């Protein structure tokens, strides 16, 4: 592929590996963005849109988008802040996956059990900017200066091993289930931030004329995300209980209410958050709903 074949195409950056990669491929498929990636090639043309996908490390995507080298990207909120690109990109959609927290961790058995206790000691991390900012404030508060300030050291991976190896008194690392942390004999003593995957666009895009295409892709991806997040809930309800029932299932805009052939009964259809399905069904039963059905959504536009 040469630079000419990219001419005029919207450049869309996707994590090339790691935690976000597979989910991004599912999103692209759901949004009908068709491509065939040749082995080891990190740029590929989309067949059915004027788009080229660029596969990059998740941590590099904020700078590429922020500097306008690519127009659109998917990455973690955490690495946008770490790259100091929050003023150069716009987070257009939260994608509901890649959820994790950046936490300060210490060995469970260690005498140090607070961030104030860790101030002035050695902290190992892949997030040296965010960890640096966090401990700068703590050091300032404790009025530490010179060599007595916290020493932040960068490693690119396997951060959780640093304490056991004697390299650190504490670490700053991402936590999702907590399995990695617990397996390393660590526990969290503070949360620096919460993160999830986001769709970002450049504040200084390479192809400003392609902003309608950015909107189209955003709307398609929003549809796929909403379809994963919501189910359709249908039920029958006596007319006098309608108000109570629709308070439980208000829908995104409003529930659809239709008459039933049986006198005094109505049918209601409404979008409900998938995570709340069981609770909503319990509450509907309690107010007198019957024949409650839940349907998955393949796709939608909201
Ligand atoms: N355990 C996790 N659970 C959920 N999301 C995570 C987790 N770890 C990382 N992430 C998110 O995924 C992003 C990329 O992290 P990941 O460690 O997968 O990247 P990588 O370094 O490119 O890949 P690899 O670790 O395979 O080298 C992070 O910036 C964060 O937003
Ligand atoms: O709380 P958990 O569910 O255990 O997830 C946390 C782990 O996930 C990430 O690493 P990843 O496994 O992506 O590999 P890496 O260390 O090579 O980045 C992160 O750096 C933690 O090590």
Which pLDDT belongs to residue 302? 77
Q: Are residues 64 and 108 in the same domain?
A: no
Q: Are residues 127 and 267 in the same domain?
A: no
Distance from the alpha carbon of residue 14 to the mean position of ligand 1, in angstroms: 13
Q: What average pLDDT score do residues 203-226 get?
A: 94
In this structure, which residue's CA is closest to atom 9 in ligand 1? 19
Residue 140 has pLDDT above 70, yes or no: yes
Place 37 in a pLDDT band, splitting at 50, 70 and 90.
confident
Residue 7 has pLDDT above 90, yes or no: no
Q: Give the ligand whose atoms come closest to the C-alpha of residue 19.
A: 1
Q: Are residues 251 and 280 in the same domain?
A: yes
Rounded CA separation 224/279 (Å): 24
Q: Are residues 170 and 287 in the same domain?
A: no
Which pLDDT belongs to residue 2? 63
Residue 4 has pLDDT above 90, yes or no: no
Q: Quick check: ipTM above 0.90?
A: yes
Q: What average pLDDT score do residues 289-297 get?
A: 97
Neighbour tally for 190: CB within 10 Å? 17
Residue 201 lies in a domain: yes
Residue 111 has pLDDT above 70, yes or no: yes
Specify whether the CB–CB gap between 13 and 207 falls below 8 A. no
Give the CB-side neighbour count of residue 22, counting CA atoms within 13 A.
3
Place 206 in a pLDDT band, splitting at 50, 70 and 90.
confident
- Closest to 189 in 3D by CA, of 126, 122, 117, 241: 117
- Token couple for 286: 């309690």
- Token couple for 196: 């999830």
DSSP assignment of 155-215, as one string?
Answer: -SS-GGGTTTTTS-SEEEEEESSSHHHHHTTEEEEEEEEEE-EEEEEESS-S-GGGHHHHH
Q: Is 62 in the pocket of ligand 1 (CB under 6 A)?
A: no
Specify whether the CB–CB gap between 131 and 172 falls below 8 A. yes
Q: Is 205 in the pocket of ligand 1 (CB under 6 A)?
A: no
Greater confidence, 41 or 11? Answer: 11
Residue 182 has pLDDT above 80, yes or no: yes
Q: What average pLDDT score do residues 4-19 get?
A: 91
Residue 19 lies in a domain: yes
Each residue's pLDDT tens digit, 38-83 = 877 899 999 999 999 999 999 999 999 999 999 999 999 999 999 9
| Residue 55 structural domain | 3-98+196-206
Give first-to-last CA distance, the chain, whole Å: 37
Residue 215 lies in a domain: no
Which pLDDT belongs to residue 39? 79
Distance from the alpha carbon of residue 104 to the mean position of ligand 1, in angstroms: 17
Q: Are residues 176 and 29 in the same domain?
A: no
Which pLDDT belongs to residue 94? 96
Residue 190 has pLDDT above 80, yes or no: yes
Residue 3 has pLDDT above 70, yes or no: no
Q: Give the number of domains in the chain.
A: 3
Specify whether the CB–CB gap between 265 and 221 falls below 8 A. no
Kindly report the CATH number assigned to the domain that includes residue 252.
Answer: 3.30.70.120
Residue 207 has pLDDT above 90, yes or no: no
Q: What average pLDDT score do residues 2-10 get?
A: 79
Nearest atom, ligand 2, residue 173 CA: 20
């Amino acid at each position: 592929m040469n630079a000419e074949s990219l001419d005029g195409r919207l450049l869309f950056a996707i994590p090339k590996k790691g935690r976000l990669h597979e989910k991004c491929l599912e999103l692209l498929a759901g949004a009908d963005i068709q491509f065939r990636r040749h082995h080891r090639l990190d740029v590929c043309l989309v067949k059915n849109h004027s788009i080229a996908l660029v596969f990059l490390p998740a941590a590099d995507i904020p700078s590429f988008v922020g500097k306008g080298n690519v127009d659109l990207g998917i990455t973690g909120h955490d690495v946008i802040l770490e790259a100091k690109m929050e003023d150069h990109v716009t987070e257009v959609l939260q994608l509901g996956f890649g959820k994790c927290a950046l936490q300060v961790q210490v060995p469970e058995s260690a005498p140090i059990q607070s961030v104030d206790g860790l101030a002035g000691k050695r902290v190992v991390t892949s997030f040296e900017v965010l960890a640096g900012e966090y401990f700068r404030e703590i050091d300032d508060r404790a009025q530490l200066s010179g060599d007595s300030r916290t020493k932040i050291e960068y490693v690119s991976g396997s951060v959780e091993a640093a304490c056991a190896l004697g390299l650190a008194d504490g670490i700053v690392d991402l936590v999702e289930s907590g399995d990695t942390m617990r397996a390393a004999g660590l526990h969290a003593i503070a949360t620096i931030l919460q993160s999830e995957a986001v769709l970002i666009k450049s504040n200084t895009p390479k192809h400003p004329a392609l902003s309608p295409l950015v909107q189209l892709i955003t709307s398609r991806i929003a549809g796929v995300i909403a379809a994963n997040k919501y189910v359709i809930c249908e039920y029958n309800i006596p007319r006098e209980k309608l108000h109570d029932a629709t308070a439980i299932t208000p829908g995104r805009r409003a529930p659809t209410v239709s008459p039933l052939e049986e006198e005094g009964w109505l049918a209601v259809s409404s979008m409900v958050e998938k995570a709340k399905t069981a609770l909503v069904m319990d509450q509907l039963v309690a107010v007198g709903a019957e024949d409650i059905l839940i349907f998955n959504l393949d796709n939608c536009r909201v």
